[in-house]
Amino acid sequence: MSEIASLIQDEVRTEGITQIARPGVHTGELNRNNTRGLSKTEFDTVYKSLVNMLLDQNIRTFPDLLRLQHRVDTSTSLHSHRVAGMSVLIAKTATFLKLGRRSDFQNVFPSDTDKELSTSNENTLTNLARGALIHDLAKIIERIKFAVHSNRPLTIEEKNLISAHPELAAKLAEAVKLSPVACEAIEQHHQLINPNSFGSYGYPVREERRSVSFGATATRIADISDAESTPWWEGRQYKRGRAQRCIEQILSENMTINAEVFGTEFTPILHETYVETNRRILNLLYLRKDFQTMQSTTMSGEELIKHQFEIYSQVVIRLIPYLALGNSIPLDIERLIQSAGYTRTTSELVEIAS
């Protein structure tokens, strides 16, 4: 069994914990009252702590948000950048394979934004990248950050906190007026098109099949792939003690993943896209002289894994569209404040925070 197949099964087992939570129905809009294990009061309290952190740090633009995420949790920030780059490459590869013209793709991903992504519309790709860049933003909340980086069994409370992170970040993204493509990628990046062996559609928990966007599915695939590729010392504590492998071997194995395994957890229509995406990343690595030099040296073991992963990170992060990182992306702070239930004006809150 390939590493990614094993990781998919690990995630399926993890997602089984959401069945402990009170199940709800996904309505197409974020349902704050019953799609997570946290009560509405608990969710609102945690969300307000995230908003307070942004206000305390005087966050005003999207790059400010990225810098805060990097400062608070560097490993999650770098992971999110790699996921953004790979999500965009998945969408571009789907264009190369002309998936958007196929009826089976249109049946699974019927929306206009799905069609735009499958044709590599530049604006839509940029919005997808922005969503992927902050898909794990809620993990900068101290309680969630502590649980995510813990190397011990999680409590039910910690599991419920972690399972709320897509909704927390998506609510914030909606509040600051990020695009629907970005918000969908954030909210749905742990949701499945088809139920897993637990009968779960992932989280936020929902009881029936609803559409999951192409952008969100690309983000989910990239998210799982990066988790599988990342060694434990780069922030994946749960992989401590497992055999670590170099990125070249991982990408090569991903290109041979069983179509049935991939199709069950994602969708069969994207299997060829995933294989081709891994092939393209591997080819980009082979074009790097420092990667070629590394292959001809006596470097081995942990040292080789570290160096290959560093080059892989550089290559994938550079796939992020420049506009997604630009400085001209102001956030709607007034709406952010209102989303947390505050009634004071921005100037009053900034004055208090300072």
Half-sphere exposure of 64 (CA within 13 A, CB side): 16
Question: What confidence score (pLDDT) does residue 206 get?
Answer: 60
pLDDT confidence of residue 243: 62
Q: Which three-class secondary structure state does DSSP give residue 197?
A: coil
Distance (Å, rounded) from C-alpha 50 to C-alpha 164?
A: 13
The C-alpha atoms of residue 93 and residue 280 are separated, in whole angstroms, by 9
pLDDT at 260 over 60: yes
Most confident of 17-21, 241-245, 290-294, 302-306: 302-306
pLDDT over threshold 70, residue 148: yes
Better-scored residue on pLDDT, 276 or 201? 276
Instruction: Report pTM.
Output: 0.85
Find the mean pLDDT for residues 129-146. 95
Query: pLDDT band at 30, cuts 50/70/90?
Result: very low
Please state which CATH class domain 3-353 belongs to: mainly alpha
Distance of alpha carbon 279 from alpha carbon 252, whole angstroms: 8
Rounded to the nearest 5 degrees, what angle is found at the Cα of 98, between the Cα atoms of 314 and 221? 45
| Burial grade of 42 (CB within 10 A; 0-12, 13-18, 19 or more) | middle
- The CA distances from residue 321 to 62, 63, 82, 225, 264, in Å, are 14, 14, 12, 20, 30
Token digits of residue 349: 């809150």
Q: Which residue(s) pair with 202 in the sheet?
A: 191
Q: DSSP secondary-structure letter at 238?
A: G
- CA-nearest of 204, 316, 212, 226 to 265 is 212
**Do 205 and 18 touch, CB atoms closer than 8 A?**
yes
- 293-346 pLDDT tens trace: 766 556 667 888 888 899 999 999 999 998 888 766 788 888 999 898 886 555
Query: Environment class of residue 111 by beta-carbon count within 10 Å: exposed (0-12), middle (13-18) or buried (19+)?
Result: middle
Asked if pLDDT for residue 73 goes beyond 80, the answer is yes
pLDDT tens profile 168-208: 999 999 999 999 999 999 999 998 887 776 777 777 766 55
Q: Among the ranges 19-23, 111-115, 201-205, which has the highest mean pLDDT value?
A: 111-115
Return the top range by mean pLDDT from 23-32, 132-141, 292-301.
132-141
